Amino acid sequence: MRETYHEELASISDGLVEMANLVGSAIGLATTALLDADLQLAQSVISADEKVDDLQRDLENRAITVLARQQPVATDLRLVVTSLRMSADLERSGDLAQHVAKLARMRYPDRAVPRDLRRTVLEMGQLSQRLMAQAAEVILTQDVDAALQLEKDDDRMDELHRTIFQHLMDDQWQHGVETAVDVTLVGRYYERFADHAVSVAQRVVYLVTGEHADELIPDTPA
């Protein structure tokens, strides 16, 4: 039965990778829907999130089945427990992509994002999608260096988030309070999405090395 057992473990990893791919695509599509005020696209992102939720439930059930039937220990046990955490990160990322799409729908036929922030939001969307693709790869390869790199790449998200705040706090802001509220929330959604991608990668680091990611990144010299 050893093979079935390893197949079961592998299918949990596969499920995580599939979830990561789905939510990565979702954030990309949601960004397009937001920037182009594309109602149909927004709607399809909103509906598609159900698939992610189903995958998570399925994955949770499979993890519990493996725990009950195979009673894994040591690394395998840690893998199953960590996968539960990762699937929660990914499920939440799906929600955040859905939030972006819902904002697009709410403001339709208007655009929620003003022109002078379009480029910044586009980059946030693309970066989110890229970080999630990296996270998916890290789940597959268990490559610790790639996982730590992801954390550094997330610094760019913080810069973009600061750019948004600079626009908002600028005395020249001419788009009114409603748009300020929308842009604030959008910035937060992308930031949290990226956090979850980083968190997935960090859990892989912990799984492989037994150490938390922040212990492996040397402090940058002052």
- Where along the sequence are the contacts to its own copies (CB under 8 A)? 60, 63-64, 67-68, 71, 73-74, 77-78, 81, 84-85, 88, 165, 168-169, 173, 177-178, 180-181, 184-185, 188
| Sign of the Cα pseudo-torsion (125, 97, 130, 180, in order) | positive
Smallest distance from its own copies to CB 72, Å:
8
Smallest distance from its own copies to CB 40, Å:
26
Element (H, E) at 62: helix 39-70
**Residue with Cβ nearer its own copies (36 or 176):** 176
Smallest distance from its own copies to CB 78, Å:
7
d(CA 93, CA 195): 9
Distance of CA 8 to the CA centre of its chain: 25
**Residue with Cβ nearer its own copies (17 or 185):** 185
What is the length of the chain? 222
Smallest distance from its own copies to CB 180, Å:
5
**Residue with Cβ nearer its own copies (18 or 76):** 76
What is the tally of helices (H) and strands (E) in the chain? 8, 0
91-126: string of b/e by CB count within 10 Å (b at 16+)? bbbbbbbbbbbbbbbebbeebbbbeebeebbebbbe
**Residue with Cβ nearer its own copies (85 or 118):** 85
Smallest distance from its own copies to CB 221, Å:
26
What interhelical angle do 115-141 and 74-107 show, nearest 10? 160
Smallest distance from its own copies to CB 13, Å:
18
Element (H, E) at 171: none
**Residue with Cβ nearer its own copies (146 or 180):** 180
d(CA 144, CA 135): 11
**Residue with Cβ nearer its own copies (36 or 64):** 64
Cα dihedral: 58, 130, 189, 109 (round 10): -100
